[in-house]
Structure 1
Amino acid sequence: MTTQVRGRAAREAKLEALQEQLSESVTALVTGEDWKRALTFAAQFRGRSFGNSMLIAAQHFAAYKEGRVPEPTPTYVAGFHQWLSLGRSVARGQHGYGILAPVTGQFASFTPDDPNSWRRLARNDKPISGEYTRTRMIGVKPTYVWDISQTTGDRVPELPRPSLLQGQAPAGLWDGLADQITAAGFELRLVSSAAAIGGANGLTDFLSREVSVRMDMDDAAQVKTLAHELGHVLLHAPPETALTTESAADATLHRGNAEVEAESVALMVGAAHGLDTSSYTVPYVSTWAASVPGKNPVEVVHATAERVRATALRILDKVDTQQVGDGNPPGLDREALSHRTGAAPVTTNARRDGAVLGL
């Protein structure tokens, strides 16, 4: 067996082991409380995909139980060379956490609207003049990251963290959410009490294009409700009114989990601002995840988590608020981070923006 073949076999074995560990981690999300803890962690490590955040959480907790790290939850994670670029090095005897990093390829096309027109560029190929270029994910590979507690060296500056009193809403969050609701073509109605909207805290009406929120709650509860309704607006428009029908059909027809998704989006938005998520209510995962025909619960949970994460990130990117860190050490080059360690990807530009799918 050649060295190249042995290396490929070793990589495939590592990849299979990571995928099995990820499946086990997702399978363990049995109750609403498990789901809430997972999404809260993912919000604090939103620079990573949901799958990679679960892998990091599981391996860090195992390291904590073995006495290799001082806390059960990681703070910042980065790759070996990324820590070196920040003046820190991995301590002797510390094992990295395996995650799934994207393998990307460059594609080019003269007619980008035709999905069959894209051709893959070889390593040293360049696009022909007039072609559009796009980076796409073509596979995954195992790679490793370490928590800051596993490294030594220069001090990494601490990011400011939101400090909220009980019932207080993060400054600017209400306005940022409200702006996104109105930008989506909905009118925001503030009602005096739940009686005005059938006993609910909030209501999204796709026919009248109205979002209603009751105002007889504290500020934090009002913001949470507004984020919940914005989750509905972005994810659950009926097919005849939606820009894309896939998410609405998936949520309403297959598993009826629109409330789960909207509440989960609100939870991630809140957790990214340091809000207490203990009041968020999510039904048992095992109930709604088992109701999709043709898919096993692990597939459903993972897909739903990624949809929730993508929607929460879309919301968070458009609000001008102080948020908790995203799990990446301050000061890292974001493009290098995405390509090396499976963090949130960076879109590359040619004549038109192209999407990069991350893990």
Structure 2
Amino acid sequence: MATRQEEARQAREAKLDELHDKLTGAVERLVTGDDWADALRCAARFRSRSFNNVLLTWEQHLAAFEQGRVPEPFPTYVAGYKQWQQLGRQVGKGQAGYQILAPVTGRFASANPSDPASWRRLNRGEKPKPGETVRSKMVGVRPAYVWDVSQTTGDPLPKKPEPRLLTGEAPEGLREGLARRIGSEGFELLWVPHEGMIGGAIGLTNFETRQVAVRENMPDAAQVKTEGHELAHVLMHGPDQEEARQHRGIGEVEAESVALMIGAAHGMDTSEYTIPYVAGWATAVDGKNPVEVVQAAGERIRKTAIDILDQLDTIQVSDGTPPGLDRDTQRQPPERGVARAAPAVEPEEARPERAGRGL
């Protein structure tokens, strides 16, 4: 007869299998459909979460919209059950949460941190020996739940500043911020009068001369978007990045995707710009499954965009964390997936490890 702990483990494994199927389905639709730009806009909105969890949240929210359970097709702010309670809001009765993958962490100790083989995992409650260094690291994932603000009621959220742009206008400070980052990478930024000076291109990155050129005969927003595109090339497609250089389509999609995320994080409308059909470049990588290629590229794009955005002194749209909620408070145990009449304490699943914020 299975023990309660074994039953809990089996239930978690079943949920993880379900999440894996949902994630695979979401990525397959990206490969074969035209939702890549929408996925990236969602990733820009929820850039503190992994590309996998962005896709999981987006897909489940879209399903809820199609079922009439939420008013908009895109989520706006998401948080856990207790987090919404901290903000004076309550998840509506019967509202199903969106399953995501939360990291499971373990504590490790070593008396010789420079030796990878010396690290040992500490048991629950175990203290390190004198002189040992302690570090936490991710050892697995487990299912957790979040809800969109539209699934909650209660106190209004604090207002956060949001960028406001006119047509063709670039966000304040973005041009200068991107230019500083290009310079810090050891590249010279050149603003050229017209495309004839760079072979008919909109922008050009030259790793031999270490120069980035952007043409000026286009709207301000287009110039800055191109500046972000070329910066992505600088960060992602140097001489040591053989795969992207061998498959030019991958490099161009990655760079344009980073530029789209940077723009979306500043409220820019990039709908007039197109991204090559994802299936075309995903299937061009020999020996790799297109689903795996797109999944890996999405996370790589997200991390590059965050690296750029975090160093900019500009007003950006929210990263999906509800205003008024400290990011540190997002580190919480998994929560059940359907809200009932509000209990004093929301039940938690049995957990052998502490689960952190969603990946």
Which stretch shows the higher mean deviation, 292-301 or 195-204? 292-301
Does the 8 Å CA contact 1:100/1:141 hold for their aligned counterparts?
yes
1:70 partnered with 2:71: yes
TM alignment of 1:70-149, pairs within 5 A? 70-128=71-129, 130-149=131-150
> What percentage of residue pairs aligned between the two structures are identical?
59
Does the 8 Å CA contact 2:203/2:215 hold for their aligned counterparts?
yes
Distance in 2 of aligned mates of 1:139 and 1:255: 34
Distance in 1 of aligned mates of 2:247 and 2:126: 44
Structure 2 letter corresponding to 1:324: V
1:296 partnered with 2:297: no
What TM-score, normalized by structure 1, do the two folds share?
0.89
User: Paired residue for 1:268?
Assistant: 261
Distance in 2 of aligned mates of 1:148 and 1:306: 25
| Shift, 1:6, TM fit | 1.4
SS in structure 2 of the partner of residue 142 of structure 1: strand
Q: Which of 324, 339, 351 is equivalent to 1:331?
A: 324
SS in structure 2 of the partner of residue 319 of structure 1: coil
Does the 8 Å CA contact 2:103/2:142 hold for their aligned counterparts?
yes
Note the alpha carbon deviations across 1:312-340, whole angstroms, 9 max, x for none: 00000000101111111012221231555
| Shift, 1:358, TM fit | 6.8
User: Paired residue for 1:174?
Assistant: 175
Which stretch shows the higher mean deviation, 221-230 or 294-303? 294-303
User: Paired residue for 2:345?
Assistant: none
User: Paired residue for 2:250?
Assistant: 257
CA RMSD of aligned residues (A): 2.1
| Shift, 1:30, TM fit | 3.1
| Shift, 1:123, TM fit | 2.5
| Shift, 1:11, TM fit | 1.0
SS in structure 1 of the partner of residue 153 of structure 2: strand
Distance in 1 of aligned mates of 2:166 and 2:332: 39
Distance in 1 of aligned mates of 2:50 and 2:140: 15
Distance in 2 of aligned mates of 1:222 and 1:255: 22
Does the 8 Å CA contact 2:330/2:357 hold for their aligned counterparts?
no
Which stretch shows the higher mean deviation, 222-231 or 153-162? 153-162
SS in structure 1 of the partner of residue 74 of structure 2: coil
Distance in 2 of aligned mates of 1:341 and 1:126: 25
CA change 1:204–1:295 in 2 (3 A) is same
User: Paired residue for 1:37?
Assistant: 38
| Shift, 1:150, TM fit | 1.1
SS in structure 2 of the partner of residue 58 of structure 1: helix
1:308 partnered with 2:309: no
Distance in 2 of aligned mates of 1:49 and 1:27: 17
SS in structure 2 of the partner of residue 170 of structure 1: coil
CA change 1:31–1:160 in 2 (3 A) is farther
User: Paired residue for 1:349?
Assistant: none
User: Paired residue for 1:188?
Assistant: 189
Structure 1 letter corresponding to 2:174: L
1:227 partnered with 2:208: no
User: Paired residue for 2:348?
Assistant: none
| Shift, 1:341, TM fit | 6.8
Distance in 2 of aligned mates of 1:63 and 1:325: 22
What TM-score, normalized by structure 2, do the two folds share?
0.89
| Shift, 1:96, TM fit | 0.7
Structure 1 gaps, min length 5: 240-247, 343-355
Structure 1 letter corresponding to 2:219: D
User: Paired residue for 2:163?
Assistant: 162
1:286 partnered with 2:286: no
Structure 1 letter corresponding to 2:89: R
Does the 8 Å CA contact 1:232/1:262 hold for their aligned counterparts?
yes
SS in structure 2 of the partner of residue 29 of structure 1: helix
Structure 2 letter corresponding to 1:183: S
CA change 1:128–1:303 in 2 (3 A) is same
Distance in 2 of aligned mates of 1:59 and 1:357: 18
Structure 1 letter corresponding to 2:67: E
Does the 8 Å CA contact 1:64/1:71 hold for their aligned counterparts?
yes
| Shift, 1:95, TM fit | 0.9
Tell me how many residue pairs correspond in the alignment.
338
Structure 2 letter corresponding to 1:178: A
| Shift, 1:295, TM fit | 2.1
1:11 partnered with 2:12: yes
TM alignment of 1:206-225, pairs within 5 A? 206-225=207-226
CA change 1:77–1:165 in 2 (3 A) is same
User: Paired residue for 1:350?
Assistant: none
Structure 2 gaps, min length 5: 336-355
Note the alpha carbon deviations across 1:150-183, whole angstroms, 9 max, x for none: 1111111232221111110000001111111111
Does the 8 Å CA contact 2:247/2:281 hold for their aligned counterparts?
no
| Shift, 1:126, TM fit | 3.8
SS in structure 1 of the partner of residue 201 of structure 2: coil
Does the 8 Å CA contact 1:171/1:321 hold for their aligned counterparts?
yes
SS in structure 2 of the partner of residue 301 of structure 1: helix
SS in structure 2 of the partner of residue 55 of structure 1: helix
Structure 1 letter corresponding to 2:315: Q
